[in-house]
Amino acid sequence: MMKKRTLPVFLLTAALAAGALWCPSMHLEAASHPDADVVLRVCNWEEYIDLGDWDEEETIDLESGDIIGENSMVEDFEEWYYETYGKKVAVEYSTFGTNEDLYNMLTLGDVYDLVCPSEYMFMKLMAEKMVVPLSDGFFDEEDENNYYTRGLSPYIRRVFDESEIGGEPWSRYAAGYMWGVTGIVYNPEVVSREDASSWGVLNNPAYRRQVTIKDNVRDSYFAAVGAIKKDLLTSEAFREDPDYHLKLQDEMNDVSPRTIAAVQDWLQSVKDNAYSFETDSGKADMITGKVVANYQWSGDAVYTMDQADEDDYTLNFAVPMESTNIYFDGWVMLKAGIEQDPAKQQAAEAFINFCSRPDNVIRNMYYIGYTSVITGGEDDTRVFEYADWCYGAEEDEEETLDYPLGYFFVDDNENEDYILTVPAEQADRQLAAQYPAEDVLERSSIMVYFDASVSESINQMWINVRCFNIKKVPVWAWILAAAALSGIAAFLYKNRKRTYKL
């Protein structure tokens, strides 16, 4: 069983405060880091990297050696960079809350060298020519410091090579960091596995006012499309179509006016049925039992289930049968920052490589709960060992299950070296969220970036869902309002007259 550190709030606060302090000093970097050869400005998601300072007992004791986070990943990088390249780098590390926030920060003039948005946002940055391509040297597998290209999962490499925007593959500009799928965390005592395995659980009247959905237009849109097209998406004819994957991608990214209208109706029914649209309370409400099912990203799902386990409360994870949104967070280098100094590009790529070194990958995964795109390659099996360390069955476990992960580690799901033997329940629990099975990924779809006019109509649809429609005001409310208004008017009038008399 995996035991993850609960991230103390003050660390987040400290990171935020540090971020805030660093912002104004951005243009004074030379002055603030007099002894550094390169200053690298990194902006990443909040709580998305190992900040170090682990307890002794948290040591991950793999057979190939212990792994523990003593210092923050950023400090370790600065040290490693000096040892490896003989140059001093100073990293200015700051964080952002949402992709849209990051984009707003960039358009308002904040300058960073390396940022880590989700795929649709780095697609937008690519489309708007705001990013610099990764160098050829970065993909040189001969260089032993190129941990990224040497250790990248073949599955992820294919996605990054085959997904394109504006005729260019993602892999030319973006290096993956974490990835996952979306699904439903549910309480198995109340919600059946079958119910949870459909986006329809969100407006299922059986769980009225007991499910939460994300307060986020893109995630909600995806779930809605999945629910609306359930019959098509789960039909055998569609599943067995030779172009299944391409067609699935098209269906899930359908933004025709008819679909947008249908999504609005569906989300309206969710609003009338769900507990709430949550921004951050979903995990806590799931653990305290306020809700019985919750739309989650897989990394947060792992965290939620871990927390529940500590309270001896069991939560499961299910991936809807219609389709799941596979997402990637990736590093991209920004033109505005990198172009000022070529040495920055080398440092930025080194930072990506350092975060991709298997022991660092494990530290990050342990600390944040998400899944790295890195496998470590066939020579370095520590990442797989770590998965076994987390989920592998004990000798005396009664019901076990073989869980093949070859598709992710070596592009071959039959490979016997990459089959985990895990407690049977793990097929519905943390493991299923951290490393989804191959059949789950078969039905996964990327949600692309929509251009301005489409975004506008989807955003408007979202606002319409959240507003109170005036047509819903009942007649008695109108009468009451009219009575109240005339009462106030009469009072004002009377009051006026009385004072004039005096």
Partner 1 sequence: MTALRFSRKNLALPYALFLLVFVAAPLLVLFYYAFTNGQGHFTLGNLTGFFTDPNTLGTLCYSFAIAAVTTLVCLLIAYPTAYILANSRFKQKSVLVMLFIMPMWINFSLRITALKEILTLIEGNLAMFPFFNAVIGMTYDFLPFMILPIYTTLSKMDRSLIEAAKDLGADEKAAFLKITLPLSVPGIVSGVSMVFLPAMTNYVVLDMLYNSTYIMGSLIGSYFSAYNWHGGSMIALILLAIICIFTLLTSGMEEEDSRAMGGARL
Q: State the minimum distance, in angstroms, from the CB of residue 473 to partner 1.
A: 6
Exposure of 452 by Cβ count < 10 A (0-12 exposed, 13-18 middle, 19+ buried)?
exposed
Which backbone phi and psi does 71 adopt, to 5 degrees?
-105, 170
Give the whole-angstrom CA distance, residue 491 versus residue 494.
Answer: 5
Locate 43 and state its tokens. 């902006």
- Judged by the rule CB under 8 A, the positions of this chain that interact with partner 1 are 100, 209-210, 215, 217, 271, 274-279, 281, 290, 455-456, 459-460, 462-464, 466-473, 477, 481, 484, 492, 495-496, 498-500, 502
Q: State the minimum distance, in angstroms, from the CB of residue 474 to partner 1.
A: 11
Residue 216 burial (CB count, 10 A): 17
Q: State the minimum distance, in angstroms, from the CB of residue 472 to partner 1.
A: 7
Query: Could you tell me if 376 and 361 are in contact, meaning their C-beta atoms sit under 8 angstroms apart?
Result: yes
State the angle between helix axes of 217-228 and 257-273 in degrees (0 to 180), rounded to the nearest 10.
100
Query: Which lies closer to partner 1 via its Cβ, residue 28 or residue 472?
Result: 472
Query: Could you tell me if 185 and 293 are in contact, meaning their C-beta atoms sit under 8 angstroms apart?
Result: yes
Query: Which lies closer to partner 1 via its Cβ, residue 93 or residue 295?
Result: 295
Give the whole-angstrom CA distance, residue 71 versus residue 360.
Answer: 11
Give the whole-angstrom CA distance, residue 280 versus residue 105.
Answer: 21
Task: Count CA within 13 A, CB hemisphere, residue 500.
Answer: 6
Q: State the minimum distance, in angstroms, from the CB of residue 249 to partner 1.
A: 25
Q: State the minimum distance, in angstroms, from the CB of residue 260 to partner 1.
A: 14
Residue 61 burial (CB count, 10 A): 10
Give the whole-angstrom CA distance, residue 357 versus residue 160.
Answer: 19
Q: State the minimum distance, in angstroms, from the CB of residue 85 to partner 1.
A: 40
Q: State the minimum distance, in angstroms, from the CB of residue 490 to partner 1.
A: 14
Q: State the minimum distance, in angstroms, from the CB of residue 351 to partner 1.
A: 30
Query: Which lies closer to partner 1 via its Cβ, residue 110 or residue 385?
Result: 110
Query: Could you tell me if 170 and 331 are in contact, meaning their C-beta atoms sit under 8 angstroms apart?
Result: no
Query: Which lies closer to partner 1 via its Cβ, residue 103 or residue 179?
Result: 103
Query: Could you tell me if 173 and 134 are in contact, meaning their C-beta atoms sit under 8 angstroms apart?
Result: yes
Closest CA to 196 of 306, 274, 294: 294
Query: Which lies closer to partner 1 via its Cβ, residue 256 or residue 499?
Result: 499
If DSSP codes are grouped into helix, strand and coil, which group holds residue 169? strand
List of E strands, 170-245: 174-180, 182-186, 211-214
Q: State the minimum distance, in angstroms, from the CB of residue 222 to partner 1.
A: 17
If DSSP codes are grouped into helix, strand and coil, which group holds residue 127? helix
Query: Could you tell me if 129 and 333 are in contact, meaning their C-beta atoms sit under 8 angstroms apart?
Result: no
Query: Which lies closer to partner 1 via its Cβ, residue 215 or residue 438?
Result: 215
Query: Which lies closer to partner 1 via its Cβ, residue 105 or residue 350?
Result: 105
Query: Which lies closer to partner 1 via its Cβ, residue 68 or residue 454?
Result: 454
Q: State the minimum distance, in angstroms, from the CB of residue 205 to partner 1.
A: 14
Locate 386 and state its tokens. 């770590």
- For every residue of 243-297, DSSP letters joined together read THHHHHHHHHT---HHHHHHHHHHHHHHHHHSSEEESS-HHHHHHTTS-SEEEEE
Query: Which lies closer to partner 1 via its Cβ, residue 235 or residue 495?
Result: 495
Q: State the minimum distance, in angstroms, from the CB of residue 299 to partner 1.
A: 23
Query: Which lies closer to partner 1 via its Cβ, residue 27 or residue 471?
Result: 471
Give the whole-angstrom CA distance, residue 140 versus residue 132.
Answer: 18
Query: Which lies closer to partner 1 via its Cβ, residue 60 or residue 202?
Result: 202
